[in-house]
Amino acid sequence: MPQDPAFPPVYDYALARRCTQCAAQPGLPCHAPRKQDDIAARNRIRAQTGRPPLELDPLAMLHTARVDAGNRHRNRDVAAAPWPEDREPGRRYDTLGEHWQEPSDSA
């Protein structure tokens, strides 16, 4: 699914919120050692079988409650925005404020 330039991705919405599970502040990733250990274990198994490591999905490293809250916030912004054909090119319609950062063009 292509990214809508009028709205940041769900990851940015989730990261802009405080995590209710680990109390990570807005802008900081979750403290999720079990998730990190799970990814590391899977990559060790993949390395033993000669396969490349899994590409890390940043949403997988956040707690589910935080991702769900970010997704609800994004859905509210999308619902409140004008129809896609009525939007001004280059204008953002999100309500994240200072927590949102422009994605890097190097990707």
Residues in the chain, total: 107
Helices (H), the chain: 10-15, 33-48, 64-80
Interatomic CA distance for residues 66 and 30, integer angstroms: 9
Estimate the share of the chain in helix, then strand, then coil, as percent rounded to the nearest 5.
45, 0, 55
Sketch the domain layout of the chain as residue ranges: 10-29+56-89
DSSP per residue, 61-86: GS-HHHHHHHHHHHHHHHHHSPPGGG
Interatomic CA distance for residues 87 and 89, integer angstroms: 6
Predicted confidence at residue 43, as pLDDT, reads 93
Confidence of residue 101 (pLDDT cuts 50, 70, 90): low
Over residues 7-46, the pLDDT tens digits come to 889 999 999 999 999 999 998 999 999 999 999 999 999 9
Phi-psi region of 54 (alpha: psi -120 to 50; beta: other; left: phi over 0): beta
pTM confidence score: 0.78
Predicted confidence at residue 2, as pLDDT, reads 59
* Contact present, 70 and 15 (Cβ < 8 Å): yes
pLDDT mean across residues, the chain: 87
Predicted confidence at residue 46, as pLDDT, reads 94
Over residues 45-58, the pLDDT tens digits come to 999 999 999 888 89
